[in-house]
Structure formats: structure tokens, C-alpha cells
Amino acid sequence: MPALPPHRPTAPPRPTVLLRPTALELALLCPTALELERRATPASSPLPRRRRLLGRRATGDGRRLEVGRVSEPLGGGCVDDAGPARGVVPGADALIGGGGGVTGDGAADVVVVVGGGRGGGWEDAVVVGGRGEEQDGVVVVGEGPGDRKLGKEDGCVDGVREGSVNRGVPMATERTMRALLLMSPTTTTDAGSGEKPAAHAVFFPFPAQGHVTAALHLAKLLYIRGGVRVTFVHSDRNRRRLLRSRGPAALAGAPGFCFASVPDGLPPLSGEGDDDSHDPPQVMVALLSSLEASVPHLKKLLDDAAASGAPATCVVSDIESVLRAAAEVGVPAVAFWTPSACGLMASLQCQQLIDKGFVPLKGMNATVIDWVPGMPADMRLRDFVSFIRTTDPDDAMLRRVLGLMDSVRNAASAVVLNTFDELEGEVVAAMSTVLPPIYTVGPVPLLAEQVVAGGPLELDTVVANMTKEDDGCLAWLQSKRPRSVVYANFGSIAMLTSQQMQEFAWGLASSGHEFLMVIRKDQATGARGATPEFVEETKERGYITSWCPQEAVLRHEAIGVFLTHCGWNSMLESICSGVPMLCWPFGADQQTNCRFACTEWRVGVEISSDVKRGEVETLVRDVMGGEKGMELRRRAVEWKERAAAASQPGGSSWVNLDSVVNEVFYPCKGSLRPRFAGLRPASALAP
């Protein structure tokens, strides 16, 4: 394999922007603080000043957090309205009872309460407040010898460390105080000339379920972790789907996080059924044709944002025409690649495969392609993306992929990947020589769990799943033994022939194992996916549904193996859950994902494209009960632990997310620095 260039994504970021720690991070840093009030509504909110101080409350012991809402501060004078505080983080009883529990003088940039406030005034309170005209100044009030300090960072830290609450119990260490001081999203310029507005990212993902889901996770991460204002753009069709399946709350947003939609020219949804709630191929073709028509509407949205005083500072997309449109109007573009890194590398080879005469295909699926950096030396043509499987040199899908790859190379200022260094670092390192700066921030659902739990309650109802889910399958799983159930789901796009569906179904039935099988109403061509005979035969050991909450299913201890089409979101969810896979790739990057899962990561076994029920039966039995299955499960658990480590504070993806904020949304020179000189980003403070 060719020598690879060095890869730098896990290097700690330079401290160029304030980053807010999450509730989990604060709990790790300060396990004695049992109640933490999350950050306030941004100052630009039209809500009354007093209401801005209300947000989320996380209660826990440093190991487990419960999240709820604080409705109103209790007691007279608890919140002094002298100035609009930008952040409030109370400790045990800071906003309950008493006078003077929180105070601010002028336009306080940070108000951090680390102590009590119960029972009248300062006796049990430790309060930090920054005055608007004294950017580096803080006031600490507490019981200890350092109960009143005014000055820069050292005085602040000393005061809180020496202050106490509940009659002598220390409330904060230096590390805790440094983290708390990073709460404010507001930053100053190096020249000290005042505040710089928050970055504004306009997200417009490809309007298919997997792309939208991953993009929404990233949008929440940037909003909560980096203080980035977000406008998330849906196609009209997806907006209607979300309203039908989830209701208005799915698009309600939060202060500084809003939704928009653009016309796509697709017909209205049909009736109340779910037949059109997925992305079957005929809809995908229409979607591809409609994207170009959406561009003028997106440009108008960008113009309107600029006219409103909140101009877009970045467009985040994986659509060729959108990336190019951003460049045309002078807005930097970020390519968020939602499939795998290996799939991106395989797609980048399409032009070379054409130039070398391999495409259009001439029946050489087993031909070894050994010249791609970062990829196995024994990669076969059949392991590359399905877009090369054409005999037409002017194939429309192939041309679209070539155009998208060109826009990723030349129209984007950065590339963000939904993967993690430990899983695909070699491929990412190889691509770093031909692409703009690359940042790996995956698995984004796992990273979002660490970060988004500390965000506004309004974001809890903001979801991307456009299909009604059957939660009854979770209750069914509760009665099953650990690792006893086969879970089968071929995603929201794949279409199987009636024969293929029957081979899979009867193969599962013949294995003797219990199974949970997802069969979309539009999934099988020519007939319904599950025949009445099959349903009757397997009703005692099978559960068949049209859609399910997949992340929750894969995390359930009853699941022993996942029969999957190898879509990247599904594969990442399986890896994060430590579940081995039976792989039957359908198209796009799924052949490449399958190859890596089965031979590089060794967490899966491939099922032949010409599926037969006997093969399905044998493989299910091997993975569920044989030595091969034990080895696959061991490897899957190892990758689960690595994915979790990458997503924890200080892990590779956590650090890379901070780098995205610092280097992409708040780029360096003369722009942003931490308000308190010398402080590191919050991720660097994690133990």
C-alpha cells in the first residue's frame, strides 16, 4: 500500500473561541454540584430579561443526569434585573428562595452560581458575575476566606475554591471554575473592539432520511457546543412528512435555531397512509431532478438572512448545486459527507476508473484495484460504489457523482465526516492530500448524546425521522433473552424483489431464532413483503413491522445480530451498540461499507447478492451461536468501546468538533479568543 501522509485531526485545537461545556462535562468536573441550570436564552431573544435566565436543569451525582425545566425563580429578589446575563449555571439551590442569589451589574456576560441561595441572601451563595465594562473582571461571593474577590482569572478561581456552601463542603476546584467560565457564547475580537456576532450556518442536506438525520445531529452539535446560529432547510416534501409523522413540535426549533423550507416541485403526500413516507427509488429520481430548481429559493433565503441583519456565514450541505450556489453568492461552504469515509474515497476514484478504462464496466467485477491510497490492496471493482456499475459512459447517476466530487474538492472550504479517526483514520489521512481540511466528528448520534443533553428543552422535540415508528417492538423485546433476537431492516430506500424478500423471510424463519423484521409497505416489488402464510407460521417467534426506532432496538440487550443493507447510518448505529452484522449491500456506498465491515473491521459477514434462504439460515445460526459469532461479537464490542471513547470529552471526535468550531466557523486571525486569557477549550479540561 502506498505510503500515507501524516494525519492531524486529533491534535488539540488552539483556544480561539469560547466553548460551552455540556451538563455531562460539568458533572464530570464538579460531581458535588447536584443541580446545574443550563445556558440561558440568547440575548437576542425577544423574551423578557427575567425569563432569559431560565433554561434546563440537570440533576444528578456526576454519573447519571436527569433533565427537567425550571419554570420560575422562587423568592423575592432572587434574580437582579440590572443587566441581561448571557449565561446562568446555578448550583444546589441557587434559584430557589432567598434574596440576592444571582446578581449582575450592567450587561453581565457571564453569571455563574456555584452555591446555594436558600434562605435569604449571601450566606450560602457563591456567585460569579462579570461586568460589561470589565471584560476580565469577576466577583465571587461566598462563606470562605476568599468570599469576595474582584479581578482576573486567578482571583476568580481562588475565590470559588476557597468559598464553600452547606457549611464547609467545597463547591469548586480550579478545573471546575475554568470550565464554568467557558459558558458564554459571546466572544471578543483580539483588538478588543467589542463583540463579534455568532456564526450563522444554513444547513441544506440532501433530502433523504439518512442524510437529514445526520445533518440535524451536526446542526444541534454546532448550536449547543459552539454557539452557532442555525437555519435548517428542508424540502417542502420533507416538511410535510415531518408534520404528518411528528407534528408541529418537530419544526418548532429554539431561539437561534430555526427551520425553513424550499419548494421541490414534488406532488403532495397521499392520504394518511405511510406508503410514501420513505424514499423509494422513483421518489429519489424525482428528488435528484428537483434539487437544481431549489437553488434560486436557497439564494433568496440567503439574501433575506443578510437583509435581516443575521447573514449566513456558512452553508453546510452535501448537494452539488447547493455547494456551488454558496460559492456564487460569496458564502463559504462546508461539505458534510454523511456516508462513510471509505465510501467517499471510493467515489473520488470514479473519474480515474473511467480514465483507466474500467468504467463503463466490461464484466470485470473481480478485477483487483490496488492503487487507491488508504484502501486495501485487494479491493475489487465490485467493492466500489455502485454508481460505476453501468455500461453507459453518459449514465446520469455516474455524472452526478462526478459533479458532486468536483464540488467537494473545489467549492467547499472544509469537509466534515460522520466517522471517527480510530475507525477510518487511514482513509481520511489519504484523502487529506486531495481535499480541503477534513474533520471527523462521528458517530454524530453518539457525540450528540454527550452534548445535546445540555441544550434547550425545545430541541428535545426537534427530530428528523419522517416515518411513524412502532414502539411496540421494544415492549416485545423486553420479554426476550439477551442476544437471542435477529433484527432485520433494509433501510428507507432499498427495494427488494418479492423473491428476495421471501428468501430472507423464510431463511430467518428456518433458523429457529426469534426475529424482528422491518418490511416497508413499498419495499417489495410485485407483491407484499410478508405473505399471510409466513406471518401465521412465525407469529410465535417473529415480530413484523413497517418501521421502528432503530437506535433503541440495536441498543436493546435482546438483539444478537443485525441483518442490514449496509447504509452508513445503520452501520454506525450497529457499531455503537456492539452488534455484529449480516451484510447484504444494496447500492451507493454500501458495497464499500460491506467490504470494510467484513474484512477490515471484522464485525460482519456478507450475504451473496443472489440471496438464498439456505444461506440466510446457515449464517444466522453461525453468528448467533457458533465460534464465528463469538469472535464477531468480541470485535463489535471493541469497536463500540472505541466509538464511545472518541465521543467522550477529550476523545478524537469531541476535539475535532471543537476544531470545526474554531477553525471553520470562527476562523483565527483577529477574530475570536477566550474571554479569559490562557483558558483552554472545555474539552481540554475533561479528566
User: Is 211 one of the catalytic residues?
Assistant: yes
Closest listed residue to residue 23, CA positions, set 91, 86, 74: 91
Cβ–Cβ under 8 Å, residues 126 and 160: yes
Of the listed 109, 124, 158, 211, which one is catalytic? Answer: 211
Residue 42 in grid coordinates? 440568547
Of the listed 93, 264, 318, 421, which one is catalytic? Answer: 318
Closest listed residue to residue 592, CA positions, set 389, 380, 430: 380
3-class DSSP assignment, residue 574: helix
* Cα distances (Å, whole numbers) of residue 642 to 213, 381, 417, 648: 22, 30, 17, 10
Closest listed residue to residue 664, CA positions, set 20, 228, 256: 228
Residue 294 in grid coordinates? 431549489
Rounded CA separation 106/132 (Å)? 6
Handedness of CA 53, 56, 59, 62 (dihedral sign): negative
Residue 226 in grid coordinates? 459552539
How close are the terminal C-alpha atoms of the chain, in Å?
38
User: How many alpha carbons fall within 13 Å on the CB side of residue 585?
Assistant: 23
User: Is 406 one of the catalytic residues?
Assistant: no
Closest listed residue to residue 338, CA positions, set 494, 211, 442, 221: 211
Interacting residues of 373 by C-beta distance below 8 A, sequence separation 6+: 1, 2, 4, 430, 433
What DSSP letter does each residue of 257-288 carry, written as one string? EEEEEE---PPPPPSSSSTTSS--HHHHHHHH
Cβ–Cβ under 8 Å, residues 661 and 311: no
Measure the CA angle with vertex 36, ends 56 and 25; round to 5°. Answer: 100
Q: Is 42 exposed, middle or buried (0-12, 13-18, 19+ CB in 10 A)?
A: buried
User: How many alpha carbons fall within 13 Å on the CB side of residue 441?
Assistant: 33
Rounded CA separation 119/137 (Å)? 28
Annotated catalytic residues are 211, 318
